[in-house]
Amino acid sequence: MTTYKTRNEVPLHEKWDLTDLYTDQEKWDEDYQHIQQIAQQLKAFDGEIHDGHSLYQFLKLNEELSFVFNKLYAYAMLSVDEDTRETKTQSLIDRAKHLSVKVSSSTSFFMPFLLSLEETTLNHYIESEKGLDYFKEDLLESFRYKAHVLSKEQEEVLSELGEALSVPGHTFGMINNADIKFGEVTNDNGERVELTRGMYSKLIEDENRDKRKEAYKAYYQPYVQLKNSIASTLSAAIKNNVTMAKIRKYPSALEKALFGDRVPKEVYENLISTTKNNIESMHKYTRLRKEKLKLDELRQYDLNVPLVSGVKQEISYDEAYGTMCKALAPLGEEYVSILKEFKEARYIDVRETPGKRSGAYNLGVYGVHPFILLNHQDDLDSLFTLAHECGHGAHSKLSSQHQPQITARYSIFVAEVASTVNEVLLINYLLNNEKNTEIRKHLLNHFIDQFKGTFFTQVMFAEFEMKTHEMAEKGMPLNVEVFNEIYETLFREYNGEDVVFDEEVKYGWSRIPHFYRPFYVYKYATGFASAIHLATKILEGDQETLESYIEFLKSGSSDYPLELLKKTGVDLTTPYPIENSLNKFNELVKELSEL
């Protein structure tokens, strides 16, 4: 395991190359000035768009601005993430954010203007100006919202209220990130120390059950203490969603959230009902866990500990990269050559260094290439993270190469498909090439737990959101008791009768930040299920699926997400892809229990 004290110690080929964006600060400053000038020009169009030609001039200029701005912002963000303590780069991101506000205000007139047009007028503009063909889909897409947009004065009032409406989420963020003080735990030297989130994620997987229990109790302590305050912020957030849906004339808060992706609410309901109808394999896994851990009572703090101990593998970065490329060979030579380019051309920042942003992400920059941030630890988790982020990276790269700027960015709805397909191909490769029974068990356990977290837990959260919003829509009260009862019932339905409940279980709702971003988590589950379905077909050698999948990666947002997936054979309006992935889960659990 290599640890670096400074960024300078990291070998050059393991650091990304930001000169692909800007060779020096002067060029960045030039673009900054350039964007300010374009913003001024755009502002001058307010009240001056009277025909197809002026509409086209505005849109063309606006696209040029967003191209340059995305590059400028990416450079600032990536520079800061290399070392978040660096004041010089912090000032870059501050300037970029300030510029972003300027840019938004210079174009804020456009949406109300567009939606004030009659459809016949807009169509006349499009027909009269050849250049508008390029923007046509986007203009008509914006028009889809016309029925949900209010008068200019009402819209102004709502935008004034924007900040007030975001208070519940902001307050929860403050409680959760700044104010919360977890209880104390005993460290390895026998001293009492305050628990941190980082410590918790390690301790909850500790083989020592007393340590897990102590961490669990300490972690939930502040949430239980603050239950009424948090219930009040969550209740307010839900009521805000419901009120906004009503004001904007959507049938429900759920349908408002699904409108952008053109997802019918049946897809959401089908995800929940199909999962519930096939929940037995999840219960089977809970029973297996109880058996393997040799426990009389399985409790919530026993649900994360790995079932196989002592198989920590050291996997260097180069070895991990080679393994990933072999594992992804079923996706074809073009795909693997893209991944090799990521490494050779330094698109990836590999190592953890003091001050570097934690976690991992992929940032696609149109007209340049993707940038991937890792904090690689030379272990199995890091190998999976690498494959995951390279899935996002390849999706960004292929979409940018094959789509014009306007449709190059893919929707969040399909974002997790490419990353998960990579992970499924990777686990498959590792299992096929591993003879050691203990390591095989460890791999299966790793993937089953990931399946559980990305799929079952998210579906449970999605059902919690649906139930609580429906209650608000009927004018029923939302408070601690109501949230507790719904959450506890769902937790039992999803995890089975083998879990013995501690008092803390029912407060699970109080620590989930995603609940302040309504009806978002279900996308993890649909993306995961779609990926399992596709990867299974690709591994069976289905050539048609492989070709349509690569086509999908090149499609960006050239169609609505459900339509893009349908072209690959995944139809989320039917139970089939969900059932198919749950069958896969069942097979994994069966194989683990046989081992």
* Residue positions annotated with a catalytic role: 389
CA dihedral sign of residues 200, 415, 172, 299: negative
Cα angle: 452, vertex 348, 401; to 5 degrees: 90
DSSP per position, 79-119: HHHH-TT-HHHHHHHHHHHHHHHHHHHHHTTHHHHHHHS-H
Residue 585 CA to residue 591 CA, distance in Å, equals 10
- Residue 2 DSSP one-character state: -
Supply the angle between the helices 227-247 and 480-495 in degrees, to the nearest 10: 90
373: helix, coil or strand? strand
Residue 142 CA to residue 154 CA, distance in Å, equals 18
Give 137's contacts (C-beta < 8 A, 6+ positions apart): 406, 407
Helical residues (DSSP H) of 474-574, grouped into ranges: 480-495, 522-539, 543-553, 561-566
Residue 51 corresponds to which tokens in the numbers above? 């025909």
376 within 8 A of 351, measured Cβ to Cβ: yes
The burial of 293, by beta-carbon neighbours within 10 Å (0-12 exposed, 13-18 middle, 19 or more buried), is given as middle
DSSP per position, 15-48: S--GGGT-SSHHHHHHHHHHHHHHHHHHHTTTTT
Give 44's contacts (C-beta < 8 A, 6+ positions apart): none
316: helix, coil or strand? coil
Dihedrals φ, ψ of 364, to 5°? -85, 130
Residue 517 corresponds to which tokens in the numbers above? 């971003």
Give 378's contacts (C-beta < 8 A, 6+ positions apart): 1, 2, 314, 315, 316, 317, 320
Which amino acid type is present at position 219? Y
CA 287 to chain centre: 30
367 within 8 A of 67, measured Cβ to Cβ: yes
332: helix, coil or strand? coil
Residue 499 CA to residue 497 CA, distance in Å, equals 6
